[in-house]
Amino acid sequence: MQRLLPVGAAILIAVLSPRLSSAIPKVHLLGTGGTIAGGRGGALGAGDLASLVSDLASVAEVSVEDYSNIGSSRMTPELQFRLAQRVSTLFQERSDLSGIVITHGTDSLEETAFLLDLVVPAGKPVVFAAAQRPPRDSDTDGPRNLLNAIRIAALPGAAGLGVLVTLNDEIHAARDVRKTHAVALNAFVSPWVGPIGQVDSGRVFLYHRPARLLTIEAPGIEPRVDLVTLYAGSDGSAIKSAAASGVRGIVVEVFGRGNIPPEAMAAVTEAREKGIVVAFSTRTGGGRVELGEDAKRAGVLSAEDLDGLKARIVLVVALGAGTDSAGIGSYFRRLAGELDASVGSN
């Protein structure tokens, strides 16, 4: 049975290796559920997961906490934001921590990791670990991924990289990583930029440092943001329906470089007249969006090269922070890596 633990009632379990030397790095493990903790026989808690990892005591002194125990298809922006707040609180309360590891389901991992990347300043390492195969399967990938995440989080050199995701011995930046296959072990990739590093035989290698980091100071979030994908024959009805539902923002995955049928564009213009923030992302999954003249006149934003899922997360956080349309546009440009727009960024 899936369960959600009350926020503010976190379950802290004793440190797993109390006899370790104080020189051993301290890492805190936050469990949220997902395949890495699930499967036949009921879900495992964070402490149970840590007990499945061999050689853990030689890597770090690990404290564990169950934030939630749900399949990540049930994750919401509110839960994601409160998780980000929990991470920030832990770093404030525990100066001894080298880093934090979060176990998470793969269904919405890229969204949760990116929201934390936007909200939690890029200081000490925050590393997500997940699994494509349940813990009770003989060929489960969970313990290996978790051990790799703890290795990364324990290293001072992993500081300042933003939120990271590790599966299949690869290390990805939250801004770029996507799930591209339902069950394959190598499902998580960073299209066009590749992984930023790798774990090989217990050693952590960094190929490059992420350049497209952004921190938004958000006291809350705005979950009422919809994602609409255009298709052949789109007449704008989905956009009109979203606008009528009371959303504050809409991300439209348009054709190619920024193409949109006239009927759909008319619906976008109506949404903008209602004060709804609209951003265009390409449905191709790669490449930057260039806005047409009609879109520019309507005040549509380009999500640049962010995919629809991540563009939506930007709106969720930015609208919650009270950022206006011009400010959100600058966020998209900074996340795209535009050098002029990054001057003076966080």
Of all residues in the chain, what percent are helix, strand and coil, respectively (each to 5)? 30, 20, 45
Exposed, middle or buried, 221 (CB in 10 Å: 0-12/13-18/19+)? buried
Give catalytic status of residue 140 as yes or no: no
Is residue 73 within 8 Å of 83, Cβ to Cβ? no
The phi, psi pair for 29, rounded to 5°, reads: -105, 120
109: three-class secondary structure by DSSP: helix
Crossing angle for the helix pair 262-273 and 237-244, nearest 10 degrees?
A: 10
Is residue 150 within 8 Å of 125, Cβ to Cβ? no
329 residue type, one letter: G
The phi, psi pair for 247, rounded to 5°, reads: -70, 155
Helical segments of 186-292, H only? 237-244, 262-273
- Six-digit token string for 32: 């949220």
Choice among 35, 112, 166, 282 that is catalytic: 35
Task: Catalogue the active-site residues.
Answer: 35
